[in-house]
Structure 1
Amino acid sequence: MSEQPSTLYAKLLGETATLTWQELQPFFARGSVLCVAGSLDLVGVAEALAEDRKETVGVWLASGELRRMDVAEAEDYQRRTPQLWAVVVAPWVLVQEREAAPALH
């Protein structure tokens, strides 16, 4: 039996969208961008932040799986212009780099 997603999870999932670095730059300039490691569920992290699950979020922060975007990472995004998944949990914009689609042969 599969577990049903919470109402908050479903709401955040519906608010998740792709964006480019150019669209993200103003939020980076305000210091409000958090990067989420590819090993984590972006929407699950957003849900944990929204629900103020300090212990869980603290583990991710300590491991570096969740971190405030730094200048070096911003410069890398500027250079590569990757596609990003993003969701807002005010005052934060959580981003995760989209994995490249497999090549079709």
Structure 2
Amino acid sequence: MTEQPSTLYAKLLGETAPIRWQELQPFFARGALLWVEGAQDLVAVAEAVAENDQARVAGWLQGGLLRKVDDGLAADLLARDPQLWAVVVAPWVLVQERAERPA
């Protein structure tokens, strides 16, 4: 039996969209931007943040899999301008760079 995604997961998945760094800069300036490392499921992390799942979120923070975007990362994103994916879990915007898939 396969587990069906929660209603919140499905809602967040529907609200996840590609975005460019330029559009995210105002959120960075407000300190409201969270970086999700590429191996993580962006929507699952957003769901945990939305549900205030402190144990999971703390584990990701301690492991460096979730962190606030700092100046160094912001400068890198500005220079490279990669395609990013983002989802809003107020007051946060969670963002992730998706690896290019080989052809």
**AA in 1 matched with 2:98:** R
Q: Which runs of 5+ in 1 are unaligned?
A: none
Indicate the residue corresponding to 2:89 in structure 1: 89
1:49 aligns with 2:72: no
**AA in 2 matched with 1:18:** P
**What is the CA distance between 1:2 and its match in structure 2?**
1.1
TM-score, normalisation: structure 2? 0.97
Indicate the residue corresponding to 1:69 in structure 2: 69
Q: Equivalent pairs: percent with the same residue? A: 66
Indicate the residue corresponding to 2:28 in structure 1: 28
TM-score, normalisation: structure 1? 0.96
**What is the CA distance between 1:39 and its match in structure 2?**
1.4
CA distance in 2, matches of 1:30, 1:40: 24
Q: Which runs of 5+ in 2 are unaligned?
A: none
